[in-house]
A and B are shown apart, each in its own frame.
Chain A
Amino acid sequence: MAETTKLWISEDLAEKIRGHGAETYPHECCGALLGRDGNSEEAQVQPREILELFPLLNRREDSPHNRFSVTPQDVLSADKAAQVLGLEVIGWYHSHPDHPAKPSEYDREHAWPWYSYLIVSVERGAPQQMTSWRLNEDRAGYSQETIEIRSSAPVRS
Chain B
Amino acid sequence: MAVKVLIPTPLRPHAGGKAAAEFPAKSVAEALSHLTAEFADLKRHLFTEDGKLRSFVNVYVNGEDIRYLAQENTPTKDGDTINIIPSIAGGSGLSQATEVRY
Give chain A's interface residues, CB within 8 Å of chain B.
28, 30, 60, 62-63, 65-72, 74-76, 79, 88-89, 92, 94, 96-97, 99, 103-107, 110-115, 117, 137-139
Contact = CB atoms under 8 A, between A and B. Distances in A.
Interface string B26-69: 00000000000000010011000000000110101000000000
6 contacts: A66-B93, A69-B89, A74-B88, A103-B90, A110-B55, A112-B11
Nearest to A78: B88
B85 interface: yes
Contacts of B1: none
B91 A139 contact: no
Nearest 4 CB-CB pairings of A with B: A106-B93, A67-B91, A99-B92, A104-B93
Contact of A66 (B41, B58, B98): B98
A136 B57 CA distance: 18
A66 B87 CA distance: 17
Interface string B1-30: 000000011111110000000000000000
Range class of the B interface residue count: 20 to 34
B88 A30 contact: yes
B94 A70 contact: no
B10 A115 contact: yes
A68 B44 contact: no
